[in-house]
Chain A
Amino acid sequence: MMNFLVFCCVVLPFIVGLTLYCVQNSSLRAMLVPTAVVVMALAAIGLGAGGPFHMEASQLFGLPTDAVFTLLDFLLLLYILVLGWNLRSRLVMGMTALQLIGMAYLKSVLMAHDIPVTGFAPDGLSLIMVIIICVVGGLITIYGLGYMDLHEEHLHLRTSRQPRFFAIIFCFLGAMNGLVLCNNMSWMFFFWEVTTLCSFFLIGHDGTEEASKNAFRALWMNVLGGLAFVSAMLFIQKSMGTLSTEVILQKMAALDIKSTAMLLPFAFLCLAAFTKSAQVPFESWLCGAMVAPTPVSALLHSATMVKAGTYLLLRMAPAFAGTTMSTIVALFGAFTFVGTCMLAVSQSNAKKILAYSTIANLGLIITCVGINTAASMVAATMIIVYHSVSKGLLFMCVGTIEQRIGSRDIEDMRGLYGVMPRTATITAIGIFTMLLPPFGMLIGKWMAIEAIARAAQAMTPILFFIALGSAFTVFFWARWAGILISSPSLYEYPVKGFQKPTVIFSLRMLCCVALLFSFISPVVLKDFVGPSVEGVYARFNLRVEGFIPGANFTSVEGYSWIYLLFIMLALGVWFAWRMSRKVPEKAHALPYFSGLAAREGDEVGFRGPMNVFEPARVSNYYLTQYFGEEKVTHAIDVISIAFLIVLVGGLL
């Protein structure tokens, strides 16, 4: 049974992708995509319900799986090498060649007489990830069906490139599932590189000059991460004689004193994770990725790609618990958090705001990983879950808005509620689920602050960064929410839109998921996240430092606070809504303009000299003179590179 479910999650998406690519039929696509998504989601939930398991998976279609993966590893690297040749990039070719040499050495010399490794050994964390990937990623794929039709209409394409697009997306989802489920690091590496390649294709999908440029940047940065991954595998195989994640972690956790030689591969893995999760100084590839069609951004930012990096860190965290390296990782994450929050303040481009906010939240997750206590692990997992849902939703909203109003600038979204009230409301809900209690993200952040405050090392500077970053977070979210609903009329009466049913379905569905998941956050915490971390701690005999993960939240008192807040706010929102709808139409007043207020159409302003109407023009503070990209990015790059040098160099 487990065999079948894993097959549905990992191999099936590749088969579906291949089918979509070969059969270029749009009606088949409209049928196959939702069906495949439903099958994958059901399989993921089935896996999740079954709990942790072990699976050898020594044969795939009658072939030895290990050999298949070895072959695929080499083919993939060769393909990237050819790609580097086509792009005329010595950087990509050089790094890929190094990876090839490393892999060849690893397979032929180090692993020549290796005992077979358990193929799949997912624990609670992997299963949570699989569910996120299949459910959130699946909804985004369905959204893509409607979105891409309109997108190609705008581009006036003669032949549709959708088959290629959806084929890659399915491979991407399959690779992500494989990455989080498998136990053998060399298999994991294959999936890791597939996500790199898929993101390269997807970012460059539209084929414009900018798209190609940004796709190339994503490629070389992630190939650098791949190189770090290969180096880590070499060192691990050399020092521990196995590539089974489980065995490695058991051996590392059993060590009392972790020597620098033992920690070095994990520093490389951190580096690989930082590139994939677009931490500074690698943040530019994720910011550049917004040139891709919106479903791609939504996927990269929420369920896939960047979460692969944080997953790897969470997975490997027990290996470096209680070391200085861990503290450096925490400081690095906190620095990324505050740096990118500042950058987000200076942006008016909605996708860029979302991108920087993603990087910031990943930084927060990495801080939690670096703190490396049971409580902080729970916080990190919570943030991963809720960030995926809310960020996927917000990206889909921005894409929908952009297709309607032709802009992704938040200044152009003033009064959006009057144009597309439902989407504006869903966007506002998305923003509030990122920002305010009692929604899941905030519960995660709450736990993160608690975990940091109880941490033993370097707590004060980390707290300083987190406190400052949180304040900036409020800055850029709150004004966006306000802009969306701004209006000079008392009530707005919506005009009928022309949205595709798949788009509407995905938006509403994910919005419901965001709200519902937040409502049951104590249950998620107690029944999924808590046990998954406890499982890790029990398996590797790690010390739980006097604080049971999530105790404050899963106790009766914690439950009641969250539910009370939820119920109070729900009642409050309902009541406030009722009261605001009761204001009679005759109570409508123009805004204050020192007695000169006037209105022409949708514009409000005042009567100037000669009785000329002057519309009021207002814009947000973006503080570009302080936080502008060109002002801050350089300093952030220098400091973050210093962090990376300390992280790796400190061990040498």
Chain B
Amino acid sequence: MLSILGALGGVILAPLAGGLLSGVDRRLTARLQSRMGPPLLQPFFDIFKLFGKAPQATNAWLVFSAYIYLLASAFALFIFFMGGDLLLLFFVLTIGAVFQVVGAICVPSPFSQIGAQRELMLMVAYEPILILVFVGFAMCTGSFSIADVFKLNTPLLLKMPLLFLALGYALTIKLRKSPFDFSASHHGHQELVRGVQTEYSGPFLALIEIGHWLDLVLILGLCALFWHTSVIGMVLLVAASLFTEILIDNITARLTWQWMVQKQSLLVGMGLALVNLLWLYVA
């Protein structure tokens, strides 16, 4: 019972953490570009403002999809905090991703529809890597349960360094950071306006944004699992992952999906994951 309450508390607090991390992201990005950047709490101000706007939507399914996306992200995080099953977590994440695509396709707008198609490409690129990484967890711990990771005495990073790198790839894609940001970019100058999120505005955009924060927390949580033995290690690993993501986001240009799916995801990402899996298999 206590663990359920704790997990629920975690899910409720996660938007705060996600928002802060997003603020850090914006500050760091600004500094990398020799700007001052917005206040740390700017993401929260943005969300409050969005919630204050009058609702506008092209059709009701858009709204429906936004809620389901948020719900799926929250439930995935709940599974994570409960130490549940990694595969279940993966499938629940898929619900969120699918409904983001459904929400974008259900509007007859070229911007959001092409964004949705590109989002599907992103999914083709990151989903296989995630499955392989989770299988790596299972090979080390003997089960797909997250709780079992904490029964190990040595950090997983030592056994699965390549899988950690592969996860890094998958996460950059999942978070739509440059160079993989072609389905929806924060930068205002891309040809798709905001891709999958073009048609969302006001309170519904706020829902999507909160869902994105939850995803960010979940993803960094997954990174933290690689050094579960010490709190300092977790913090270090999360900070390093986040900083690398932001750095890569700022120093790379957006590239085509062919480049992403073929070269980056299939060759590099899955290659790393497979080598590591074979190594675990032999060892």
* B94 contacts A436, C-beta separation under 8 Å: yes
**A580, B58: Cα distance in complex, Å:** 11
Given A467-B131, A474-B123, the answer on whether A590 and B88 have CB atoms closer than 8 Å is no
Cβ of A561: which chain B residues have Cβ within 8 Å of it? 79, 84-85, 88
Of all chain B residues, which has the CB nearest A591? B109
Tell me if B101 counts as interface (CB < 8 A to partner A). yes
Cβ of A576: which chain B residues have Cβ within 8 Å of it? 63-68, 71
* B101 contacts A479, C-beta separation under 8 Å: yes
- Give the distance to chain B from A566, nearest Cβ to Cβ, in Å: 11
**Interface members, chain A 440-471 (any B CB < 8 Å):** 442, 446, 449-450, 453-454, 459-460, 463-464, 466-468, 470-471
Given A450-B87, A459-B281, A470-B128, the answer on whether A489 and B59 have CB atoms closer than 8 Å is yes
Of all chain B residues, which has the CB nearest A471? B127
Which of B61, B104, B110, B201 lies in contact with A580, CB distance below 8 A? B61
Cβ of B110: which chain A residues have Cβ within 8 Å of it? 616, 618
Tell me if B175 counts as interface (CB < 8 A to partner A). no
- Give the distance to chain A from B81, nearest Cβ to Cβ, in Å: 14
Tell me if A481 counts as interface (CB < 8 A to partner B). yes
* A621 contacts B120, C-beta separation under 8 Å: yes
Q: Interface residue count for B (Cβ, 8 Å)?
A: 69
Of all chain A residues, which has the CB nearest B69? A576
Cβ of A487: which chain B residues have Cβ within 8 Å of it? 59, 61, 106, 108
Of all chain A residues, which has the CB nearest B113? A618
Stretch from B220-228, B232-240, B270-278 that touches the partner: B270-278
Given A463-B131, A464-B270, A468-B128, the answer on whether A591 and B112 have CB atoms closer than 8 Å is yes
* B60 contacts A491, C-beta separation under 8 Å: yes
Which of B58, B101, B121 lies in contact with A490, CB distance below 8 A? B58
The contact string, 1 if C-beta is below 8 Å from chain B, for chain A 584-595, is 100111111100
Tell me if B39 counts as interface (CB < 8 A to partner A). no
- Give the distance to chain B from A444, nearest Cβ to Cβ, in Å: 12
* A437 contacts B88, C-beta separation under 8 Å: yes
- Give the distance to chain A from B237, nearest Cβ to Cβ, in Å: 24
* A475 contacts B106, C-beta separation under 8 Å: no
**Interface members, chain B 65-124 (any A CB < 8 Å):** 65-68, 71, 75, 79, 84-85, 87-88, 91-92, 94-95, 97-98, 101-114, 116-117, 120-121, 123-124
Tell me if B41 counts as interface (CB < 8 A to partner A). no
Of all chain A residues, which has the CB nearest B278? A460
Tell me if B193 counts as interface (CB < 8 A to partner A). yes
Of all chain B residues, which has the CB nearest A584? B55
Given A436-B95, A471-B123, the answer on whether A587 and B88 have CB atoms closer than 8 Å is no
* A482 contacts B101, C-beta separation under 8 Å: yes
**A91, B104: Cα distance in complex, Å:** 51
Given A485-B61, A489-B59, A583-B63, the answer on whether A414 and B102 have CB atoms closer than 8 Å is no
The contact string, 1 if C-beta is below 8 Å from chain A, for chain B 148-180, is 000000000000000000000000000000000
Tell me if B199 counts as interface (CB < 8 A to partner A). yes
Cβ of A474: which chain B residues have Cβ within 8 Å of it? 94, 97-98, 120, 123-124, 127
Stretch from A305-313, A348-356, A567-575 that touches the partner: A567-575
* B91 contacts A478, C-beta separation under 8 Å: no
Cβ of A583: which chain B residues have Cβ within 8 Å of it? 55, 57, 60, 63
Tell me if B54 counts as interface (CB < 8 A to partner A). yes
* B117 contacts A467, C-beta separation under 8 Å: no
Tell me if A291 counts as interface (CB < 8 A to partner B). no
* B277 contacts A592, C-beta separation under 8 Å: no
Cβ of B112: which chain A residues have Cβ within 8 Å of it? 591-592
Cβ of A468: which chain B residues have Cβ within 8 Å of it? 128, 266, 270
Given A460-B274, A561-B84, A590-B58, the answer on whether A577 and B75 have CB atoms closer than 8 Å is no
The contact string, 1 if C-beta is below 8 Å from chain B, for chain A 540-560, is 000000000000100000000
Cβ of B127: which chain A residues have Cβ within 8 Å of it? 467, 470-471, 474
**A41, B85: Cα distance in complex, Å:** 37
* B75 contacts A479, C-beta separation under 8 Å: no
Tell me if B250 counts as interface (CB < 8 A to partner A). no
**A205, B217: Cα distance in complex, Å:** 57
Tell me if A635 counts as interface (CB < 8 A to partner B). no
Given A479-B105, A604-B109, A618-B113, the answer on whether A471 and B124 have CB atoms closer than 8 Å is yes
* B59 contacts A479, C-beta separation under 8 Å: no
* B109 contacts A453, C-beta separation under 8 Å: no
Of all chain A residues, which has the CB nearest B142? A454
Tell me if B135 counts as interface (CB < 8 A to partner A). yes
Tell me if A581 counts as interface (CB < 8 A to partner B). yes
Which of A467, A580, A584 lies in contact with B132, CB distance below 8 A? A467
The contact string, 1 if C-beta is below 8 Å from chain B, for chain A 258-273, is 0000000000000000
Cβ of A575: which chain B residues have Cβ within 8 Å of it? 67
Cβ of B109: which chain A residues have Cβ within 8 Å of it? 591-593, 604, 616, 618
Tell me if A516 counts as interface (CB < 8 A to partner B). no
* A449 contacts B105, C-beta separation under 8 Å: no
* B87 contacts A565, C-beta separation under 8 Å: no
Given A463-B131, A590-B58, the answer on whether A435 and B68 have CB atoms closer than 8 Å is no
Of all chain A residues, which has the CB nearest B126? A471
Of all chain B residues, which has the CB nearest A437? B91
Cβ of A189: which chain B residues have Cβ within 8 Å of it? none
Of all chain A residues, which has the CB nearest B63? A580
Output the residue of B135, B193, B199 with the most chain A CB within 10 A.
Answer: B135
Tell me if A620 counts as interface (CB < 8 A to partner B). yes
* B135 contacts A437, C-beta separation under 8 Å: no
* B120 contacts A479, C-beta separation under 8 Å: yes
Tell me if A74 counts as interface (CB < 8 A to partner B). no
**A154, B21: Cα distance in complex, Å:** 61
Tell me if B40 counts as interface (CB < 8 A to partner A). no
- Give the distance to chain A from B127, nearest Cβ to Cβ, in Å: 4
In the complex, besides A487-B108, A572-B67, 16 extra interface pairs with C-beta distance below 8 angstroms are A450-B144, A460-B281, A467-B270, A468-B270, A470-B128, A471-B127, A474-B97, A474-B127, A475-B124, A482-B104, A569-B95, A588-B56, A589-B56, A593-B109, A604-B108, A618-B113
B contact set with A: CB distance below 8 Å? 54-68, 71, 75, 79, 84-85, 87-88, 91-92, 94-95, 97-98, 101-114, 116-117, 120-121, 123-125, 127-129, 131-132, 135, 138-139, 143-144, 193, 198-199, 201, 266, 270, 274, 277-278, 281
Can you name 21 A-B residue pairings with CB atoms under 8 Å? A414-B108, A417-B61, A436-B98, A463-B131, A464-B132, A467-B128, A471-B125, A471-B127, A471-B128, A475-B120, A479-B117, A561-B85, A575-B67, A576-B66, A583-B55, A588-B58, A589-B57, A591-B109, A592-B193, A618-B110, A621-B121
The 6 closest A-B pairs by CB, nearest first: A482-B105, A591-B109, A576-B67, A467-B128, A580-B63, A471-B127
